[in-house]
Amino acid sequence: MAGPSATRFISSMPRCSSSASRAGIAPDAVDAVVAVSTTGIATPGLDARLIDRLGLRRDIRRLPVFGLGCAGGVIGLARAADLARAAPGTRVLLLVVELCALSFRKNDVSKSNVVATALFGDGAAAAVISCDGDGPALGGAGEYTWPDSLGIMGWDVAEDGLKAVFSRDIPGLVRRHMRDVVSEFLSHHRLTLGDIDHFVCHPGGAKVLSALEEAFRLGEGALVEGRGVLRDYGNMSAVTVLFVLERALAARRRGRLLLTSLGPGFTAAFQLMQAA
């Protein structure tokens, strides 16, 4: 995973505007952009709108990704890594933007809408992915979609906008099934949960974090970075796990990291990372 052709996570930060400069890369040196969002719907997409604003090249490859919800941060990272591996030397800009406030529906006073409004926030994050550089190495990635689970999370299209759908049973599902699903993913890479040094988990909510800690047998409160991001920013959908990752790297969480997130489908997403 950390060999000379390993895909590297060069730089990340919770604002996209200076990601390339922080990585020491000029905008015109970016070869591809992966733009992830489920809340900001636009055509032309955000990736196209940034070409002139950031001075990106005219021949840049664009991959807009929509509909992954909270799983989009991990899956977007995996897709960016796939592009970088396919053409070593390529620099891929991963851009994740979620504008959850756009889904606010002022006439809906239901408990689910009030909870969603209180829990979800706006955010943006970016990273540069390449086989060059000395950042943390990205390893295997995977996904698992549960059967008959389309109604657990997503959008309902209402007359006054998009209505958030999320099941109250998500923490229970995590407790019952997440450990087995993650163990199966790790077995494909000849690993076990005991081989993971640090868990970088999308904090869907306080109850989901507690369920993840229970599923991975970490102890209550062990997911410190996830709890801190949830406290400071709320659930920023796909963006959130990248905020958690930035804090984990800043805290010098070293060794083998496992990124996880859950989103519409209902889908669990995984990404292995080696931080030296």
Instruction: Give the 3-state secondary structure of 37-72.
Output: CCCCCCCCCHHHHHHHHHCCCCCCEEEEECCCHHHH
16 is catalytic: no
Angle (CA) 21-5-75 rounded to 5° is 65
Choose the catalytic residue: 70, 100, 131, 201: 70
Task: Tell me the backbone φ, ψ of residue 35, rounded to 5 degrees.
Answer: -110, 120
Residue type, 209: L
Chain-centroid distance of CA 177 in Å reads: 20
Interacting residues of 242 by C-beta distance below 8 A, sequence separation 6+: 12, 14, 73, 77, 96, 125, 127
Compute CA distances 274 → 84, 245, 253, whole Å: 17, 12, 10
**Interatomic CA distance for residues 122 and 16, integer angstroms:** 13
Residue type, 22: R
Residues known to be catalytic: 70
